[in-house]
Amino acid sequence: MIRFANVSKKYNDGFQALKNIDLELESGKIHAIIGPSGCGKSTTMKLVNRLIKPTSGTVFINNDDISKIDPVQLRRKIGYVIQNIGLFPHMTIADNVAAVPRLLKWDEQKTQTKVNELLSMVHLDPSIYRDRKPRELSGGQQQRVGVIRALAAEPEIILMDEPFSALDPISREQLQNELVNVQEELKKTIVFVTHDMDEAIKIADNIVLMKDGEVIQVGSPDFILRHPANDFVKDFIGKDRLREQQEIPTVKEVMTDNPATAYPERGLAAALKLMEQRRVDSLIIVDQRRKLLGYTPILNVLGHYQDETKTLGDVMLPFTYTVEPDIPFTVALEYMSQHNLPYVPVVTGEQRFVGIITRGSMVRLMAEVFPIEEIFPNGEVV
């Protein structure tokens, strides 16, 4: 666990980079420190490996005051990945990865095994890449090496300073995914500085939002999206993302709960009359306990209309797809568009019929989410 206790940092030029930071970063999690430029996020991170000394306050790692630990020894136990990758250009990939184990005077055999293992982990075949120089690799591959160099000496804590922001979007996406995968296995305490909210939401277990040297809000990505602490957080997250995150309504909230239903014993003439009354082209067939049996489209009713002995039960068709009331509405929509259904019945356990989702339900919902005033501010409805 990393703990900042009342930490302030004032640079020599008088710039107050951090103001009384109190923060606890739990072990085994990815913590994204995020905020606009100059908010103190990098400064906060660099306090951990003593690249920056606080003006006042204390930083603890597992309750040890780090100002009492030799900075060189401290840094060898903390992985460090920087934005500009910073591989040593005159060393081979293997030597770059082996840098920290060698500083720690690991047994050479053990170092080499570790290097090969790590290269394989990030899908760089050791037999091909070991002896290459960094400049022979693409930017994405170089930063993979940068990440595994930080992992090589098996540190508990890894600091990453905007590690993927200089990469092209495809490599960035891949590296983010790989980081999440690697983390699932290794469970390191990762302090990840970024200015990209999408990145933070994607990889972090915990987000620390900073502004002007202060911590504004701390919480899981989900918590921050659902409960932004103030307007700054809302702005920083962005309207679009908040809207996305607005709770998706459940099927129950959107469904039509009084569609035209009929018992299977009803005759076809009566059924036709009911359809006419309710202005629908099919009836949902349920039994007395409202168990869903099937449906009859108007064409089936008309097709057997001459036969007075037939009832709805004889001409009805079964439903192939049903949905439950507590699933998100979008899942029902997905079904409808996949199977090209005009509507889908909603049933609870034991096939009890409670309502239907139609295309009309979707239109109504859209009207609620995007109120007309927003699109036509002057009320001009064309």
Partner 1 sequence: MTFLKEVWTYIKDNLDMILIYTGQHLLMVLFGVAAALIVGTLLGILCNRYPKVAPIILSVANIIQIIPSLALLALLMLYFGLGFYTVVVALFLYSLLPIIRNTYVGLQQVDRSITEAGHGIGMTYFQLLTKVQLPLAMPFIMAGLRIAAVIAVGVATLAPFVGGDGLGREIFSGINSRNDIRIYVGAIPASILAIIADLSLGTIERRLKI
Q: Which residues bind partner 1 (CB under 8 A)?
A: 49, 51, 72-80, 82-90, 99-100, 103, 133, 135, 146, 149-150, 159
Separation in Å, CA 367 to CA 43, 252, 277, 320, 356? 46, 18, 27, 30, 19
Please, what is the minimum distance in Å from the beta carbon of residue 161 to partner 1?
Answer: 9
Structure tokens at 123: 């899908």
Please, what is the minimum distance in Å from the beta carbon of residue 349 to partner 1?
Answer: 58
Please, what is the minimum distance in Å from the beta carbon of residue 166 to partner 1?
Answer: 10
Query: Nearer to partner 1 by C-beta: 72 or 363?
Result: 72
Query: Nearer to partner 1 by C-beta: 96 or 311?
Result: 96
Give the residue carrying structure tokens 């919480």: 219
Please, what is the minimum distance in Å from the beta carbon of residue 104 to partner 1?
Answer: 8
**What letter represents residue 285's amino acid?**
I
Please, what is the minimum distance in Å from the beta carbon of residue 321 to partner 1?
Answer: 56
Give which of 120, 219, 225 is closest to 178, Cα–Cα: 120
Query: Nearer to partner 1 by C-beta: 98 or 344?
Result: 98
Please, what is the minimum distance in Å from the beta carbon of residue 47 to partner 1?
Answer: 13
Query: Nearer to partner 1 by C-beta: 134 or 325?
Result: 134
Query: Nearer to partner 1 by C-beta: 103 or 186?
Result: 103
Please, what is the minimum distance in Å from the beta carbon of residue 90 to partner 1?
Answer: 5
d(Cα 103, Cα 80) in Å, to the nearest integer? Answer: 14
Please, what is the minimum distance in Å from the beta carbon of residue 246 to partner 1?
Answer: 41
- Within a 10 A sphere around the Cβ of 58, how many other Cβ atoms? 15
Please, what is the minimum distance in Å from the beta carbon of residue 38 to partner 1?
Answer: 19
Structure tokens at 285: 């067939």
Query: Nearer to partner 1 by C-beta: 88 or 321?
Result: 88
Give which of 167, 176, 189 is closest to 77, Cα–Cα: 189
Query: Nearer to partner 1 by C-beta: 17 or 152?
Result: 152
Please, what is the minimum distance in Å from the beta carbon of residue 241 to partner 1?
Answer: 31
CA angle 286, 292, 296 (to 5 degrees): 65
Query: Nearer to partner 1 by C-beta: 104 or 365?
Result: 104
Query: Nearer to partner 1 by C-beta: 100 or 336?
Result: 100
Separation in Å, CA 224 to CA 19, 123, 278, 287? 22, 34, 46, 47
Query: Nearer to partner 1 by C-beta: 61 or 344?
Result: 61
